[in-house]
Amino acid sequence: MIETSCSALLLFGATGDLSRRMLLPSLYALHEDELISPDLRIVGTARSEHNDDEFREFARNALAEFLPEDRKDEAKLASFLDRLEYQTLDASNVDGFGDLAKKLGDTSCGLSIFLSTAPFLFEPTIEGLKRAGLAHTNVRIGLEKPLGNDLASSTRINDAVAAAFAEEQIFRIDHYLGKETVQNLMALRFANMMFEPLWNAGGIDHVQITVSETVGLEGRKGFYDDTGAMRDMVQNHMLQLLALTAMEPPANLDATSIRDEKVKVLRALRPAKAEEMVRGQYRTGAVKGTSVTGYQEDLGEASDTETFVAIKAHVDNWRWTGVPFYLRTGKRLSERRSEIVVEFKQVPHNVFSERGGRLRANRLVIRLQPEEYVRLQVMAKEPGLDRGGIVLREVNLDLSLTTAFAKARRRIAYERLLLDLIEGEQTLFVRRDEVEAQWKWVDAIRKVWADTGMEAKPYAAGSWGPNAGIALTERDGRSWND
Ligand code: BG6
């Protein structure tokens, strides 16, 4: 265990958007709650020229904009800003890392690095760190996506990182794993007796995972157009949600046990067929009453990049044989929503049918955001004397996490992930074999797109995606939870 008392956190991309919106507010929250050692220095680095004071000013502005009001405390803010330092660095030039090392001083008792950078700078950055003596055994490195854009490039990056750091020092970030409700999925499954006996092909008809967004390109034109929904969302966040939903119970919560179970699921994913996938791209439409332009207008040029994808996935193992996992994600959809829906099988025999009672299968809805709840839809009899027949209706057994834990502060994912990185806790980070299994499955899908010339189907902004996405479930006699 590395002592944090004389250690430092080094933030690459310190003046970027992620830093402004997420990293600095998260670090401030950890500081305010006294969860990080008072001696931990936070050193920001980026290409832009700043001195310490200018970076502190940048951070002050970011916090003014992105901290919730009840977090703002002038005294704490001043002591937080005191921790911050800055070193200009052109990461494409290994020579600059000497000055960075000088600024950091003695890091022998612990250095945590948060690296978020353009893919082409990964390798020079790792090389620069190594040459400047910033890759010793007391260094941990957190890697923010994108870590490559296919298996080959991801392998290259992973090899470059592995040449400087051992796997125990590498923390691959998938910010979905830092979300409270995602961790609650494990609590739901493994801290309760009632779900697990049914959590298999015997009890479950299918699973749906939706991550829908109302936002469009958000000023990330170049990146998004080169990436698309499949690589931006499915390759990482959605497959991690799938793995946590489908994995076997781990023996305990340690990083190896959990990641061993997840990787088995990811390796059991069956290569998808052309008829099991849909690509889409938004056109002009209206999102929540506001008209918005289409993707290609937003981009300013013609493009076939997908902003929506729906896939029928299969996990080929004993537990999940015959149980499809429908995945869908997209930009400019009807609402912002991340959820996992588990639909159970119908009861084997409907004893109410002769009296007119119709049954619907139970559904467990795990809503990750924007609300946080777990809702079990169960059948109940409508009150009455039933002379005209029995009316059965679906009612919700509701567990609102926001209400049940009203006093607990909701923390953003990066608060937990940064703290885990500083403390060296790897459970919520993605291991190399997981990332590679994810890419393998995604690359095979993209190959089908290329081989069949599959085009992105248009959908109106503000809808639930192209009709073909809806048909993906409907033709199996199932429906999305809209
Ligand atoms: C990021 C994607 O990883 O996740 C973005 O690059 C997406 O395109 C974001 O908007 C969604 O994250 P969240 O936490 O808002 O659901």
**Of the residues 233, 336, 340, which should be mutated to test ligand 1's pocket, given the most ligand atoms within 8 Å of the CB?**
233
Question: What separation in Å is there between the alpha carbon of 426 and the centre of ligand 1?
Answer: 21
Q: Please tell me the distance from the alpha carbon of residue 375 to that of residue 395, in angstroms, as a whole number.
A: 10
- The beta strands (E) that lie in 331-381 are given as 337-344, 363-369, 373-381
Question: Would you say residue 275 lies in a domain?
Answer: yes
> Are 278 and 148 in the same domain?
no
- Exactly one of 31, 237, 314, 349 is catalytic; name it: 237
Q: Please tell me the distance from the alpha carbon of residue 321 to that of residue 325, in angstroms, as a whole number.
A: 11
> Are 166 and 184 in the same domain?
no
> Are 273 and 182 in the same domain?
yes
Q: 3-class DSSP state for residue 470?
A: helix
**pLDDT of the chain, 482 residues: tens digit per residue:** 444 346 899 999 999 999 999 999 999 999 999 999 999 999 999 999 999 999 999 999 999 999 999 999 999 999 999 999 999 999 999 989 999 999 999 998 899 999 988 878 989 999 999 999 999 999 999 999 888 899 999 999 999 999 999 999 999 999 999 998 888 899 999 999 999 999 999 999 999 999 999 999 988 888 899 999 999 999 999 999 999 999 999 999 999 999 999 999 999 999 999 999 999 999 999 999 999 999 999 999 999 999 999 999 999 999 999 999 999 999 999 999 999 999 999 999 999 999 999 999 999 999 999 999 999 999 999 999 989 899 999 999 998 888 888 888 888 899 999 999 999 999 999 999 999 999 999 999 999 999 999 999 999 999 999 999 999 999 999 999 98
Do residues 415 and 426 lie in contact, with contact meaning Cβ atoms separated by under 8 Å? no
Would you put residue 462 in left (φ > 0), alpha (ψ -120 to 50) or beta?
A: left
Q: Decide which of 173, 189, 214 is a domain's last residue.
A: 173
Residue nearest to atom 13 of ligand 1 (CA): 176
Report which DSSP code applies to 351: T
> Are 168 and 30 in the same domain?
yes
Q: Which CATH number do you get for residue 374?
A: 3.30.360.10
Has 349 been annotated as catalytic?
no
The alpha-helical segments, DSSP class H, found in 141-294 are 151-164, 180-190, 221-229, 239-246, 255-267
Residue nearest to atom 14 of ligand 1 (CA): 176
> Are 352 and 209 in the same domain?
yes
Question: Would you say residue 479 lies in a domain?
Answer: no
pTM of the predicted model, to two decimals? 0.95
Question: Would you say residue 404 lies in a domain?
Answer: yes
Q: Decide which of 133, 151, 173 is a domain's last residue.
A: 173
Question: What separation in Å is there between the alpha carbon of 420 and the centre of ligand 1?
Answer: 20
Question: What separation in Å is there between the alpha carbon of 273 and the centre of ligand 1?
Answer: 26
Q: State how many domains the chain has.
A: 2
Question: Would you say residue 422 lies in a domain?
Answer: no
Burial class (CB in 10 A: 0-12, 13-18, 19+), 187: exposed
Question: Would you say residue 384 lies in a domain?
Answer: yes
CA nearest neighbour of 125 among 52, 63, 45:
45
Residues with CB under 6 A from ligand 1: 213, 232, 338
Residue range 119-163, pLDDT digits in tens: 789 899 999 999 999 999 999 999 998 888 999 999 999 999 999
> Are 167 and 188 in the same domain?
no
Which range of residues forms the domain containing residue 14?
A: 8-173
Question: What separation in Å is there between the alpha carbon of 231 and the centre of ligand 1?
Answer: 12
> Are 136 and 195 in the same domain?
no
> Are 189 and 270 in the same domain?
yes
Task: Give the ligand 1 atom nearest the CA of 338.
Answer: 16
Task: Give the ligand 1 atom nearest the CA of 369.
Answer: 16
Question: What separation in Å is there between the alpha carbon of 308 and the centre of ligand 1?
Answer: 13
**Of the residues 213, 230, 298, which should be mutated to test ligand 1's pocket, given the most ligand atoms within 8 Å of the CB?**
213
> Are 55 and 191 in the same domain?
no
* Number of neighbours of residue 221 by Cβ within 10 angstroms: 14
Residue with tokens 């791209």: 281
Question: Would you say residue 349 lies in a domain?
Answer: yes
Task: Give the ligand 1 atom nearest the CA of 213.
Answer: 10
> Are 270 and 162 in the same domain?
no
Question: Would you say residue 26 lies in a domain?
Answer: yes
Q: Decide which of 154, 173, 192 is a domain's last residue.
A: 173
Question: Would you say residue 418 lies in a domain?
Answer: no
The pLDDT score that the predictor gives to residue 6 is 63
> Are 378 and 355 in the same domain?
yes
Residue nearest to atom 2 of ligand 1 (CA): 232
Q: Please tell me the distance from the alpha carbon of residue 352 to that of residue 350, in angstroms, as a whole number.
A: 5
Tokens of 237: 């966040």
Residue nearest to atom 5 of ligand 1 (CA): 232
**Of the residues 143, 210, 232, 417, which should be mutated to test ligand 1's pocket, given the most ligand atoms within 8 Å of the CB?**
232
Residue nearest to atom 15 of ligand 1 (CA): 213
Q: What is the largest CA-CA distance in the chain?
A: 86
Residue nearest to atom 4 of ligand 1 (CA): 233
CA dist 122 → 5, 72, 198, 213 (Å) = 29, 35, 44, 29
Amino acid (one-letter) located at 120: F
In degrees, to the nearest 5, what angle opens at C-alpha 307 toward C-alphas 303 and 310? 130
> Are 351 and 256 in the same domain?
yes
